[in-house]
Amino acid sequence: MKVAVVGATGLVGGEILKVLAERDFPVTELLLVASERSVGKQMEFKGKQLKVIGMQDAIAAAPQIAIFSAGGSTSTEWAPKFAEVGTVVVDNSSAWRMDPSKKLVVPEINAKELTKEDKIIANPNCSTIQMVVALNKLHEELQMKRIVVSTYQSVTGTGVKAVDQLMNERGGKEGEKAYPYQIDLNVLPHIDVFQDNGYTKEEMKMILETKKIMGDDSIRVTATAVRIPVMGGHSESVNVEFAKDFTLDEVYRILGETEGVVVVDDVKNLKYPMPQDAHGKDEVFVGRVRLDETQPRTLNMWIVADNLRKGAATNAVQIAEYLVKHELV
């Protein structure tokens, strides 16, 4: 199994390498791929030093799987070239997510839709992934009608430059900025670019991707995406209305049976999910589960996950694992 990691030198790329090693993915040859300025750089994988190569060399090697985390424009240009040589691309960018000819996959929900014909597979947005993992089985049993979500997103979602900005500001140092304003001791209600409707691209990703992953355009979704000065994971306040009646006991039962979800909800002992507890973990953590007392069949919940892990790297590796297990590569 020859595997390429495209964007290997980035934050998510590094996390993909970590997850491949931790999950003992059956790699016989690993290709570390990055932009020309990183070619020749040495990186470690499972105790071995590997040299970073360029795109053309990686395509010539014809890997079975390429996991991309190198941005939308890179994916748009290069993913089809990998696909042409028979490589299955699992892409972390937004480039292919809403393309009707491409599958948008969260393995716990819709990996069964994948076939051998799928050569470019889209990995959803980090904030969408953790929300749909938590809500999927609830939707199956109770049928979601409307979701109102506000996110509290880690600076790691923006990348190394944003992490540096936060730490520089915290240390009183000057440096390059990823955001138009200070992020330390501040909150920015602005992730990605603003659209004509007043929503940001990040908010629209959550709205559109949820419907596509769930395969249900009738679900109404509205979102506010916010950047906060933390590292370790994204948090979400979610208010969800269902078509069917339910009790809190039923909700806890369903969440307890949901693959990939851990319930942390003991408010008497101040137990609830936090980004620092989700950091480095692959599960989605759910707590603060309570009825919305202003209208029937509606639930409030708090959802936290490591955005670099389940929100990106782990989900992509899980897709690759599914492809191998079901002999789709």
**Confidence at residue 140, expressed as pLDDT on a 0 to 100 scale:** 97
32-51 pLDDT, tens digit per residue, is 999 989 999 999 999 999 99
Compute the average pLDDT of residues 194-214. Answer: 98
DSSP 57-81: HHHHT--SEEEE-S-HHHHHHHHHH
pLDDT above 70 coverage of the chain, percent: 100
Q: Which two tokens stand for residue 111?
A: 């990996």
Is 12 labelled as part of a ligand binding site? Answer: yes
- Please report the DSSP string for 239-308 in residue order: EEEESS---HHHHHHHHHTSTTEEE--BGGGTB---HHHHTT--SEEEEEEEE-TTSTTEEEEEEEE-TT
- Confidence band (pLDDT; 50, 70, 90) for 266? very high
Using CA atoms, how far apart are residues 284 and 261, in angstroms rounded to an integer? 5
Q: Roughly what angle, to the nearest 10 degrees, separates helices 314-325 and 11-22?
A: 40
Q: Is 126 an annotated catalytic residue?
A: yes
The pLDDT tens digits of the residues spanning 84-106 come to 999 999 999 999 999 999 999 99
How high is the mean pLDDT of the chain?
Answer: 97
The reply, when asked if residue 37 is annotated as ligand binding, is yes
Domains of the chain: 2-123+312-326 (3.40.50.720), 127-154+187-305 (3.30.360.10)
Instruction: Identify the active-site residue in 139, 234, 279, 326.
Output: 234
- pTM for the full model? 0.95
Residue linked to tokens 């409307």: 146
Rounded CA separation 82/80 (Å): 5
**234 has catalytic annotation:** yes
Mean pLDDT to the nearest integer, 256-284: 97
The residue-averaged pLDDT of 153-159 equals: 95
Q: Does 232 belong to an annotated binding site?
A: no
Residue 232's pLDDT is 87
Q: Determine the 3-state secondary structure of 18 from DSSP.
A: helix
**pLDDT one-digit tens code per residue, 113-151:** 999 999 999 999 999 999 999 999 999 999 999 999 999
The yes-or-no verdict on residue 265 having pLDDT over 90 is yes
**Strand, helix or coil for residue 152:** strand
Say how far apart CA 72 and CA 63 lie, in whole Å.
21
Would the annotation count 9 as a binding residue? yes
C-alpha of 194 from chain center: 21
Residue 235 assigned ligand-binding role = no
